Amino acid sequence: MSASLSSKTVLLGLSLTLSPAAFAETLTGPQRNAVRSAESYLAFAGFSRTGLIEQLSSAFGDGYDVADATVAVDSLGVDWNRQAVRSADSYLSFMGFSCNGLIEQLSSDAGDGFTVQQAQFGAQQAGAC
């Protein structure tokens, strides 16, 4: 095993065993700032993992480095199914969707970017199916 692969394996093993508070202490300054931004977005609306990373890293969003945004989002322990329900509820609050239409909106790359399973869960829990 190469030294770099060994280091990555050890680092990965450590990050998986750290508590959320201890893991947060390992974040860089930009990653901690991205966490704060992500938490603000999640307080406002439902986001998929992909959508939140894109919002944080987009030049039209916050402009964080994609790697920093990804680490920040993954450090939060978000329930993505719950986020899919929030997004589905939001869509249904201002317009009608068929079950399949809402799943497509929630799961498409041009839409919210949830996985199909998360989108199905969200649409079902929101009452569209």
What is the percent of the chain where pLDDT is above 90?
78
Sketch out the chain's domains with CATH numbers. 19-74 (no CATH), 80-125 (1.10.10)
Q: What is the CA radius of gyration of the chain?
A: 17
For residue 67, is pLDDT > 50?
A: yes
pLDDT tens column, 10-62? 333 334 444 555 555 689 999 999 999 999 999 999 999 999 999 999 999 89
Distance, in Å, from the CA atom of 106 to the CA atom of 87, rounded to the nearest integer, reads 8
For the whole model, what pTM was predicted?
A: 0.79
* Whole-number Cα distances in Å, 10 to 14, 17, 31, 32, 90: 6, 11, 21, 22, 42
